[in-house]
Amino acid sequence: MSSDLKELKKIEKDAEQCMKCGFCSFFCPVYQEERTETSVARGKNFLVREILKGNQEFTPEMGEIIGKCLLCKRCVANCPSKTKIDRVVVGARAQMVKDKGLGFIKDFAFRKVMSNRKAFGRYVKLASKFQWIFPKGEGNIRHLPDFLKALGQGRHIPAIAKTFLRDQVKEVNKPQDGKEPKIRVGYFMGCATDFIYPELGKKIIDFLTKRGIEVVVPKEQNCCGAAIYFSGDFETGRRLAQDNIDAFKDVDYIVTACGTCSSTLKDYKVYLPDNEEQQKAYEEFGKKIKDATEFVVDVMKVNLDELKLKKEFEGKTATWHDPCHLIRYQNIKEQPRAVLRALKGLKFAEMPNADLCCGMGGSFSVYHYDLTKKIADKKMAGIKATNADIVVTACPGCMINLIDNVARSKMPQKVHHLLELVE
């Protein structure tokens, strides 16, 4: 065991803030399914404090407990003492990585593949060659057979794009009116938009350039690092942060269509700093980051009544799913709803408990797929209650999980990114 407990000591004050009331148990999606003290924030926080006191050591069982958290922040949002349990959990994971290492699979995935954009693209391209093996569902959805345990038994997933976004767009996209640009914006692709939903990236670039904005898509940009640093690999997380800071140094804003990416980029300053210099650099970088809906509504101040609904959605009823990384990490709630309500020809139906986590949680759904499905069942019940035709969100990770569970539940709803609805 490490003697310095460096990463844990960074979050010691956060851990001490918990007053053990157990209010978190009402809001934790994992606890609501498992009903065990180690599932909830209070239990995890207690174990971390025991390690800090020297009464407990990191064990494989401890790793399992700390790992079984969606980081949805529902407990944080509703904690009477405002305990930031997300920092406690991520700090504990970072300490475990420091003490025990990542393990072969994560070490290879994070440090050899995901943090090397070219290598990542090559592996994804290789995987796409084998898509024909898996049964094709409706549209571009593939059904993974049960034997692929690591990817989730029987999971429905979108097919990998034939051509990645980075290979479809220019690095510098000038305003379409030929005039001098009003501002210079960097577009952050993210993994899902680059490899699975390139049409979303092309759409937002077109939307911005039509409105006098120059859009830069740096090829040097890397993964946002969500799966990596939330798993405790701060070393690789800091390397990715520096890659992205360098790639976007000459833009006024950085826009992304992925709620997880915008949250992750903004929050480098929350989880990763190891010194004052890094803290300052991450804070300055975070100020540039805007989620697409946030940018359109709050920065561009677009007249939403001018937005046109795509014809295929006319007469449809839409409901909105709040991604955890939008509503609780960034306090983005009204902007996407404002867009949906403004689209003439579309009916909007508010979902009961729209902010409930869908159960994705990044790699959480890979390691705990059965639990993910139970959590998603509550989200499916909310969708059914609206009688909506389409489920709209702004996080590709949520989209993947919602598509899977709508298909698993044999429900008729289609899942779309908000940008897909706009003409």
**Coil, strand or helix: which one is 206?**
helix
Rounded CA gap, 160 and 49, in Å? 43
H/E stretch holding 348 reads: strand 347-348
Domain positions in the chain are 6-100, 165-299, 304-421
- pLDDT band with cut points at 50, 70 and 90 for residue 150: very low
Helix H or strand E encompassing 214: strand 214-216
- Two domains, one topology: 165-299 and 304-421: no
Angle formed at CA 195 by CA 403 and CA 169, multiple of 5 degrees: 125
Do residues 397 and 362 make contact, with C-beta atoms less than 8 angstroms apart? yes
- In b/e form, how buried is each residue of 4-42, taking b as 16+ CB within 10 angstroms? ebebbebbeebbeebeeeebbbebbbbbbbeeeebbbbb
Q: What is the third-level CATH fold of 6-100?
A: Fumarate Reductase Iron-sulfur Protein; Chain B, domain 2 (1.10.1060)
Q: pLDDT (tens digit, 9 = 90+) per residue, 231-277? A: 999 999 999 999 999 999 999 999 999 999 999 999 999 999 999 99
For the segment 117-141, what is each residue's pLDDT rounded down to a tens digit? 888 888 888 877 776 555 555 566 5
Q: Into which CATH architecture does domain 304-421 fall?
A: 3-Layer(aba) Sandwich (3.40)
pLDDT at residue 3 greater than cutoff 70 = no
pTM of the predicted protein model: 0.92
Overall average pLDDT of the 53-75 stretch = 92
The answer to whether 259 and 330 are in contact (CB under 8 A) is: yes
Better-predicted residue by pLDDT, 127 or 321: 321
Architecture of domain 165-299: Up-down Bundle (1.20)
Instruction: Identify the bridge partners of residue 157 per DSSP, sorted by sequence position.
Output: 142
Distance CA 151, CA 65 (A): 21
The answer, yes or no, to whether residue 153 has pLDDT greater than 80, is no
Going by their DSSP bridges, the two strands 156-158 and 141-143 should be labelled as antiparallel
pLDDT over threshold 50, residue 1:
no
Return the closest-CA partner of residue 229 out of 278, 277, 272: 272
Buried b (16+ CB within 10 A) or exposed e, 247-260: bbeebebbbbbbbb
Tokens of 306: 């001018």
